Amino acid sequence: MTHHRYATVRGHQLFYREAGPADAPAIVLLHGFPTSSYMFRDLIPRLADRYHVIAPDYLGFGFSDTPDVEYTFDTLAVLTSELLSQLGVHRYAIYVQDYGAPVGWRLALADPSAITAVINQNGNRYDAGFVEEFWAPIWAFHRSWTAETEGAVRGALAFETARWQHHRIRGHPLAAVSMGRSAPAEGVPDPSVVSPDTWHHDHALVSRPGNDDIQVQLFADYATNPPLYPKVHEFLRPSGVPVLAAWGRNDPIFAPAGARAFADDSPDAEIHLLAGGHFLLESALDEVATLVNDFLDRRVAKTA
């Protein structure tokens, strides 16, 4: 059974989902944009029979508070770390996707001994894999915050963009709506398996009053993430932390090159390119759950 809880961290209410035995090896699920721990709603029960599963909503996302503070990836990581400390979770595997990757890398760099494994699903830790057609407006916004560049990235907050991110219809032109660029040629093999609940839920929560300004701050801060990558590589090389990449190969935001690059610093990384897009769990849940359970059983459960 999944429990839905709140904790107070630095005066802010953070929502999180928790399941599984408290004394089992822990896995922390770190969500992407524009979603929340909701993206893991169906994966959590698949892991909870053998693992202690925790899936937080970052500050400003999902059901967590949206206070008027400075929003950076450092802020999201610090609050997530303090939440885990409150819960008594000091060693854990991380499952990262999209924004979850820079949050997870900061957790690992702050306390390398805490990380028992890394599971990466469409979240970069290399310069390889950034799809320029999507990212160009964000890099331009970071270089120069003007009304024009801000307007371009605010397109990512539109309802149609949330749908585009989840659905990945082949040849659908929603990238042009969101970022002023052409849409990718590939998408979810069978779009009918992706429930409309996903993008309606995500867009409703990211559209709470004032949340647009929160997301704009994080778009501006995203460029602080690639400079961390060399430090992440230095952490991985000597540590031998097990790495699994379960990657939607049709993702027009983070391309498969980002997954293949994991082998550069983790020679025994297990890399799987699956049919699907950015939100792979919506179309390949069974495959991902099987890969994750098998990986954790072999690489973590006996040593945690």
Residue ranges in the chain assigned as alpha helix (H): 44-47, 73-86, 100-110, 132-143, 147-154, 159-167, 174-179, 197-206, 211-221, 229-239, 257-260, 281-299
CA distance between the termini of the chain: 23
CA dist., res. 271 & res. 252, Å (int): 18
Contact present, 34 and 58 (Cβ < 8 Å): no
129 strand-pairing partners: none
Q: Please state the length of the chain.
A: 304
Residue with tokens 């690639």: 226
55 strand-pairing partners: 17
Give the residue among 70, 63, 101 at the shortest CA–CA distance from 253: 101
Query: Does residue 278 have an active-site annotation?
Result: yes
Give the residue among 188, 184, 181 at the shortest CA–CA distance from 167: 188
CB 113: neighbour CB atoms within 10 A?
A: 9
Angle between helices 211-221 and 197-206 (to 10 degrees): 90
Contact present, 47 and 27 (Cβ < 8 Å): yes
Give the residue among 104, 56, 141 at the shortest CA–CA distance from 229: 104
Residue from 31, 52, 166, 278 carrying the catalytic annotation: 278
Catalytic (active-site) positions = 278
